[in-house]
Structure 1
Amino acid sequence: MDKISTFISTYFDWFYITVPGTVDIIEILILSFFIYRIMLWFKQSRAWTLLKGIVMIVLFTAIAAMFQFNTILYLLKNAFSVGIIAVVILFQPEFRRGLEQLGRKKLINYIIRDGEDDGVISEKTIYELVKTAQVLSANRTGALIVIENEVALGEYIDTGIPIDAVVTNQLLLNIFEHNTPLHDGAVIIRKNRVVSATCYLPLSANDSINKELGTRHRAGIGISEVSDSMTLIVSEETGSISIAQGGELFRNLDSEGVRSHLQTLCKEYNGRKSHRSSGVRPVKRRKRVVVENKNKASRKEADENEK
């Protein structure tokens, strides 16, 4: 009998589950909340890419430990302390920004702030953007409007002046009006709201871009090369409307062309969202730089210029 009791206590102790108390439940909820907020902050900054890299390193370390790759484990162990210091140095602006945002927010608002996914932009926002592009093009008023997609543009939003207003035709026209304080730089839209104006964007260093394009177009292509955003560009010289996405520039678009690109952006986002929920990974487009035109002959000429 004693042998049976010993056997049960030795091999079946794991079967008994301790019932958590009130304090344990509160601790679990608090930790879950902070982990969720940290993950959300990661996703809204450049650190999201870092987090995915860390996960890959952890998985690689686990595999090395499983197969007892002692040399690899030794190297990883010695690189760990240096890696932490390197991460803090490289992402110091993100960490500082996160702490500043936490200090500026009221606790209740920070807790109940919704994190729902409303998509990239709505049909109403598409209508307002198309209408804005028409008026700006007719008046030959230069404009640079960036629509944030899945990759967060926080570091570029912080270079501008906060707006936080619903996207409307009147607001955008007023922002880009000549001699107004906000007309220089880019406007960034996040989920149907103008979050910032006069933002600085990275310029594309691609030598194959047509030399006739100015800084506004290079900035639009530049931001599309480092993110999955879409940029609406109106030329001040010619009034032509262009869209930059994925390192590509689509030129001389009419209203229907602009609407089509914006609707495609929403469809692609919803498609990726449904693929993630179903566990199927979508096929990514190969990144390239192309200058498109409404006229097919001009498309061919642009390709020859790139060569």
Structure 2
Amino acid sequence: MLNVPAEAVKDLADEMNIEMDAAIAKEILYRFGYRCGKSIVESTEIMATYDEVPQVVGEFMEQMGICKVSIKKISGNLLELEFQKITTDINFTLGAIAGTISQMLSIPFECISENGKCFAREKTITSEGAAGVFAGELEKLLENGTFYIYESSSIHKFYIGLKRFITCGYPALCVTREFPEQLKKKFGIETRYIWLTGADKKEYSYAMLPTNHAGLYSEIKDFIISNKNAVVFISGIEYIISNTSYSHALKFLQSLRDRIALSEAIGVLFLDPGALDTRDVKTFERELVLTKWFETL
């Protein structure tokens, strides 16, 4: 674990407050702390869920020598910070906490001070269709009217990408083999779900048999027609293939590709290329547009 040189940061803060406008110094120190927090977490590859953040981040700050802080979840994505000790600069510290949480959750967070209290909250980001920008950090979004395929042995960034779109206000539909309640807890993804499963639809309203291609296509079509700038994220295609056939799954994706193009929605199919024959993967790649966008997240 890397330690932040507390005295050096304090000296830097003192010099900046002397040499420049206080508001500018405050902003620079905050950004510097934010980058430090993100970089250290990235180097350690520590991840956390929303529920784990208060304990994990508190311990992380103390281990880095930045501060001793108690973090309490207030509501939704709002956290209250109660400092027992700050060894650096308050603005640097707030930035470091925001950067740490952002990197752990892969969701932009910010820290603010209000009425003598400090809080961390999910950063509000606005979007203007496909020209939206995620926290100013990403240069290019996926284009409307296109059905993409994202290939990886890990599905983690696929869901991080979905969370980014939702954060920016896009109406999203998630078709998944994973139990939606687990995705909500792990990634904080609150959206419309279709769960590919043999479970009883009477018990789980979002359940859908993997053999029901017509029903699945119909629900996706209705969603993208009813919602402007809709995004549809699909995983579990291997499960569909194993319960029907590759040719049936391919026809389903071809029909969906055409519907997405006509409605100017955005579609993304997740595929673990090791789960299918190379020839079948290549066919999917010819029908859809291969993207590496998720690797930037």
TM class by shorter-chain length? under 0.3
Q: Which has the larger radius of gyration?
A: 1
Give 1 or 2: higher helix fraction: 1
TM-score (norm 1): 0.27
TM-score (norm 2): 0.28
Give 1 or 2: higher strand fraction: 2
